Amino acid sequence: MATKLGRCVQQRRSFVNAKVKWVGDSYLDEAVEREKNLKQVLSLKDRIISSPSKSLPLSSLSALKPLINLPITAAAFCKKYRRVFATFHPSPRLPLRIRLTPQALTLHTEEEAIHLSPLHRKATVQRLAKFLMLTRAQCLPLNLIDRFKLDLGLPHDYITSLIPDFPEYFQVTEINDRFTGQKMLALELASWLNSLAVSELERREVNIDGSRVHIRYSMNFPKGYDLQKRVKDWVDQWQNLPYISPYENAFHLGHSSDQAEKWAVAVLHELLWLLVSKKTETENVLCLGDYLGFGIRFKKALVHHPGIFYMSHKIRTQTVVLREAYHKAFLIEKHPLMGMRHRYIYLMSKSERLKSRNYVHGETKKPESNQSL
């Protein structure tokens, strides 16, 4: 697995042999930090809702800590977000269990309604198909797709609730892991769909008469970001190179050529645009790059083009953000699922405020009962 991009004040740019000062973007950092622990809350919520009783024994949660990357013990995590999770005794003789609060259950029901709507299901299927079509991969291991599941806006049980209803698009198959040789499940595209093999940039850059215009990438830099003149000159020349669609196979290009890098940037741009959040953990991107055969190309593309991609180091990880999709700290085009996630974040923040109110002059007040939530 490729290592994460190293954080440093200065990055050596081998393509122009120049150094560029690293500058943080407080707005995009805020967009990332806002979702602290959201993925973990949603993962635990989905595990609870998937159980037959819609609850889990509190004693069983310790095994979930490494599985969903909890920052603290599962019991402490549930207590931290008491507006989302509630403990209860099913009977005096049975141990404590955990379930969703009424407020969280309401949000989940509304979220499920979005997933089940015909319009959303069609959009989700097409988004997943385009994800498989990138660089003509057409088949990806399920464990690799699961890395992007939340960011792609897939339902948590997409293998059973979505895939079987669209056999004209997908089929679950078994493949050999190229690294270990072991059998593994994968999702395969049933057939190539020319109608979907159009990138967001291609769709955007077409005149009314149908003619194509030269595609250039939108580049935005935070205040204080300074590019050396020779870097600016290189970027201008790079922008003028022909655009190659991410749905084409351009591995024949010289590995270290500028044109090959422009194609790698096209793949990364389209990948991030497909995500409802327009961002994902850098490790996800690098793992996908390794599997697709990009290797170091993805890493170089992210480092060489800070005007297109921003690397945030918030919330205990590294996140790559598509700059053009955001205005300051907010998505320009908000997907309905992102609206739901902001409501989960609000419920999580109410838990934090509740905890703060319960602490007065250094003494902890008796917490509110979960039964009343």
SS (H, E, C) 279-291: EEEHHHHHHHHHH
Q: What are phi and psi of 341, to 5 degrees?
A: -65, -35
For position 331, what pLDDT does the model report?
A: 97
Q: 11 pLDDT exceeds 70?
A: no
Of residues 175 and 22, more confidence is placed in 175
Angle in degrees, CA 69, 82, 47, rounded to 5: 45
238-266 tens-digit pLDDT? 999 999 999 999 999 988 899 999 999 99
The answer to whether 274 and 322 have CB atoms below 8 angstroms apart is no
- Cβ–Cβ contacts within 10 Å for residue 250, how many? 16
Separation of alpha carbons 95 and 213, rounded Å: 66
Average pLDDT, the chain: 87
Nearest residue to 303 (alpha-carbon basis) of 330, 285, 325, 287: 285
pLDDT tens digits along 302-323 = 988 999 999 999 998 999 999 9
- CA 162 to chain CA centroid, Å, is 19
DSSP code for 206: B
Query: Both tokens of residue 6?
Result: 């190293």
Confidence of residue 121 (pLDDT cuts 50, 70, 90): very high
Is the pLDDT at 151 greater than 60, yes or no?
A: yes
pLDDT given at position 136: 81
Helix pair 258-274, 229-239: axis angle to 10 deg: 80
Distance between CA atoms of residues 255 and 264, nearest Å: 10
Give residue 186's pLDDT.
97
Confidence of residue 15 (pLDDT cuts 50, 70, 90): low
* Average of per-residue pLDDT across 349-357: 69
Q: Is the pLDDT of residue 227 over 70?
A: yes
pLDDT for 355: 58
Give the number of other Cβ atoms within 10 Å of residue 67's Cβ: 11
Distances (CA, A) of 26 to 98, 239, 308: 37, 27, 16
CB 321 within 8 A of CB 313: no
d(CA 301, CA 356): 43
At 61, is the pLDDT very low, low, confident or very high (cuts 50, 70, 90)?
Answer: confident
Inter-residue contact 189 to 132 (CB < 8 Å): yes
Q: CB under 8 Å to 173, separation ≥6 — which residues?
A: 139, 185, 186, 187, 188
> Which tens digits make up the pLDDT trace of 155-192?
999 999 999 999 999 999 999 987 788 899 999 999 99
The pTM score is 0.88
Q: What percent of the chain has a predicted confidence (pLDDT) above 70? A: 87
Torsional sign, CA 227, 231, 236, 240: negative
